Amino acid sequence: MKWLIYSLLLVNLGMFVWHYQSPSSEVIKQSEQLVELPKLVLLREVLPDSRSQKRFPDTSSSKPEQKHCYRLGPFIGKKSVKTALGLLNRRGIMANQSSYKENNKDGFWVFIPPSSSRKKAKDIIVRFKAIGEKHFFLVASGEFKNAISLGLFSLRKHANSRLKEMKNLGFGAAMRNVNLPKSLFWLDWERDPEHHISREVFINLREQFKDIGQVEVLCSSLAAKKDTKK
């Protein structure tokens, strides 16, 4: 079923509208390190000749400082993220692009149920052409072989409108709930005082791409997400 939804998206002719929610900002918590305070000693307890004291190397181990990264997004569509990436590159910010695909968005598929033969499905297509209907797609294989797609929609009211339209024209249309694949794109780069987004640039980006935001995260968390999303 998943392959069918992907195929239908490619030929859906822009009949559905994407909606998404911006992910909540990630908060970085830094652990506090306990520092052992030196003990107080009396002055007379100190050796009179400081040169006779042996010097020992500092054996206290310090954890390496964790790197922080900026994350900008989400962007929907490769064209959008490519435009934003070019804008950052022109300002000296070399960002990495990452994408995630999630099947967690409800969608509605309006279609003519599968016909018993390809010939009968083509007969329906002939009727479509006779009334000037152009927004359809014949399913050639799989579970819904010989069905005719009439569109994928992200809003139920739009799907109901299409369903009603087809039924009023005398076609036995049906509607099915599906999961629409959603691709989100992000731009990530290591925090650097010399390479950051100014307020002016960020406002410019927000004017072009609504609902994007910038968060600061541990760079290691980005690598972990990439590993789990493969």
- The whole-number pLDDT of residue 118 equals 93
Q: In whole angstroms, give the CA distance from residue 4 to residue 168.
A: 27
Q: pLDDT tens, position by position, for the chain (230 residues)? A: 654 665 465 445 334 333 333 333 333 333 333 334 344 444 344 444 545 445 555 555 556 677 889 889 888 888 899 999 999 999 889 999 988 776 667 889 999 999 999 999 999 999 999 999 988 889 887 889 999 999 989 889 999 999 999 999 999 999 999 887 677 899 999 988 777 788 888 888 888 887 788 888 888 877 655 544 44
> For position 58, what pLDDT does the model report?
55
Q: Which domains does the chain have, with CATH numbers?
A: 79-186 (3.30.70)
Q: What is the pLDDT of residues 20-42, one digit of tens each?
A: 333 333 333 333 333 343 444 44
CA dist 119 → 114, 139, 145, 148, 160 (Å): 11, 13, 12, 13, 28
